[in-house]
Structure 1
Amino acid sequence: MLNMNEPDLNLLIALDVLLAEGSVAGAARRLGLSASAMSRTLSRLRNTTGDPLLVRAGRNMVLTPYAEEIRPRTQNAVFEARAILRPAKAALNLATLERRFTLRTNAGFIEIFGAALIAAVATVAPFVQLRFMPKPEKTAKYLREGQIDFEVGVLGEMGPEIRITALYRDKFVGVVRKDHPLEQESEITPARYAALGHVVVSRHDRGIGPVDMLLAELNLERKIAALVPGFPAALAVAQASDLVALVPATFLLNQPGLYGNSGEARLHVFELPVKTNEITVSLMWHPRSEADPAHRWLRQLVLQVCREKVPG
């Protein structure tokens, strides 16, 4: 017989979202509720737990110490509850699987691999949807909170529990317009490279990277003429000027503007005069998804698509 004093377990999902968002308005948006309905839910949670959970701090809300303490347990409890309620012995049928997977990645990954990955998914799992989410910074927050299925990028401070597999290796190359004076030079020295005007990709107004550090060891400094927010913009500027762009080599794999209608190159690509480290681009996920058959299938498919386009 049901004990009427048992807590309403439906509140657990609302609690998980509230603790993840840290705001009533944000939680309301994620749950598709009005702000007033979310406020009433918060009141019920406060009565149930005996803790305020969210308190005012200036113009924002912050989690109480108790809320911070139960946050990871709440995330895991919600995930486990959903896993328990899935069919236990149902075999994975990709032809009928209806599911949305969210991948947090930068625009470059989508431009290079997005179309091939979407086509590969549609071929065997026509009812699966891929959602690509922007990635303005490195953080494990979205994986830990279950807001995304995958993170794609260069490994940062993601935490020891995050699972990871390398997708491909990349390196930076220099790019100038066709018929640029550099195109005729068989050897480009660090001094020659640094003296040219540069268009630099910078999302945080820094404009300084590994190449600059290596040049600094030679008492050289790049002449940075422009900062742009992305690699497509850098290529467009380089193609229409005498400036030098610095881009990942894989970014050139799927650039329609790289060649003209007759197949002639519109840009000249060259090796950098300083030795930079290779970049390893990885696929990351939370261990709670490790045994999920559908998740495991998509992990393998992402790896396959990336290695077909970037062999070795």
Structure 2
Amino acid sequence: MIARYANIDLNLLIALDALLEEESVTGAAGRIGLSGPAMSRALGRIRRTVGDPILVRAGRPLAARPLTVRRYADAPHLNFSRRGRLTGPIDAALADHGLRRRVIATVPTLAAALMMVRDSDAVGMGPERAGASMIRELGLRTLPVPLDLPPLRMVMAWHPRQDADPGHVWLRGVVRATVAAVVA
């Protein structure tokens, strides 16, 4: 297996990253300072190297092929769920593609999930903006999830007796503003 990939030009990984992020040959070329034709040639070399079209035109932008969804499903997954749930919207979206993921662990916090992802070959999913500083500190890399997922809904809960408490009202406002600033 190693011998098969021994002569791969690692610069193609930079091009692939830009193509996946920009979903456009022109956008990816501009992102890494190549001409459009040079990026097209790089895409051709990527396709020949992996033996797969990787990106295909779906309307205007390039779209990751279903193979990307399959690779995502085939990867070992670390799940982060405060309630210990093993399934969720990701599983429903994968089921729409006829796929299932393999969850190897579920942890109660984003921090625990990110640390476990750092120390394994697993993938994890969490709010990118809310976890950005920890993601950077741990040296992790984020990629878009290759699925259409519903938006994450965040709510606060408190006992009704705290509804009119001035301190509690103030604290809820601070929390609301802070979270809004982080996820905006």
| Normalised TM-score (structure 1) | 0.34
Secondary structure of 2:155 counterpart: strand
Who is 2:5 aligned against?
Answer: none
Who is 1:225 aligned against?
Answer: 104
8 A contact 2:76–2:104 mirrored in 1:
yes
Structure showing greater relative contact order (alpha-carbon pairs closer than 8 Å, 6 or more residues apart): 1
Q: Distance in 2 between matches of 1:191 and 1:198?
A: 13
**Number of equivalences:** 125
Deviation for aligned residue 1:307: 2.7
Deviation for aligned residue 1:289: 3.5
Deviation for aligned residue 1:222: 1.0
Deviation for aligned residue 1:204: 5.7
Distance verdict in 2 for CA 1:283–1:225, change over 3 Å? closer
Q: Distance in 2 between matches of 1:289 and 1:204?
A: 24
Where in structure 1 do 4 or more consecutive aligned residues deviate above 6 Å?
A: none
When the two chains are superposed, the root-mean-square deviation of aligned CA atoms in Å is 3.0
Distance verdict in 2 for CA 1:224–1:308, change over 3 Å? closer
The structure with the larger Rg is: 1
Question: What stretches of structure 1 of length at least 5 have no aligned partner?
Answer: 1-178, 261-265
1:272 aligns with 2:158: no
Q: What is the identity, as a one-letter code, of the residue corresponding to 2:122?
A: L
Distance verdict in 2 for CA 1:292–1:310, change over 3 Å? same
Who is 1:246 aligned against?
Answer: 125
Q: What is the identity, as a one-letter code, of the residue corresponding to 2:140?
A: L
- Structure 1, residues 108-149: CA drift from partner, whole Å, max 9, x if none? xxxxxxxxxxxxxxxxxxxxxxxxxxxxxxxxxxxxxxxxxx
Secondary structure of 1:282 counterpart: coil
1:210 aligns with 2:89: yes
Q: 2:77 aligns with which of 198, 222, 226?
A: 198
Who is 2:59 aligned against?
Answer: none
1:308 aligns with 2:181: yes
Secondary structure of 1:224 counterpart: strand
Distance verdict in 2 for CA 1:298–1:219, change over 3 Å? same
Q: Distance in 2 between matches of 1:280 and 1:258?
A: 24
Deviation for aligned residue 1:202: 4.6
Secondary structure of 2:180 counterpart: helix
Distance verdict in 2 for CA 1:275–1:296, change over 3 Å? same
Question: What stretches of structure 2 of length at least 5 have no aligned partner?
Answer: 1-9, 21-63
* Structure with greater proportional helix content: 2
Identity, in percent, stands at: 33
- Structure 1, residues 153-209: CA drift from partner, whole Å, max 9, x if none? xxxxxxxxxxxxxxxxxxxxxxxxxx9xx9845236211211122222356664211
Q: 1:296 aligns with which of 144, 148, 169?
A: 169
- Structure 1, residues 236-266: CA drift from partner, whole Å, max 9, x if none? 22223321111222441341x6237xxxxx1
Distance verdict in 2 for CA 1:217–1:236, change over 3 Å? same
1:281 aligns with 2:154: yes
* Structure with greater proportional strand content: 1
8 A contact 2:128–2:142 mirrored in 1:
no
Secondary structure of 1:268 counterpart: coil
- Structure 1, residues 13-62: CA drift from partner, whole Å, max 9, x if none? xxxxxxxxxxxxxxxxxxxxxxxxxxxxxxxxxxxxxxxxxxxxxxxxxx
Distance verdict in 2 for CA 1:242–1:216, change over 3 Å? same
| Normalised TM-score (structure 2) | 0.54
Q: Distance in 1 between matches of 2:84 and 2:164?
A: 41
Deviation for aligned residue 1:291: 3.4
Who is 2:42 aligned against?
Answer: none
**What pairs with 1:134-213 in structure 2 (closer than 5 Å)?**
184=16, 186=20, 187=64, 189-202=68-81, 206-213=85-92
Who is 2:26 aligned against?
Answer: none
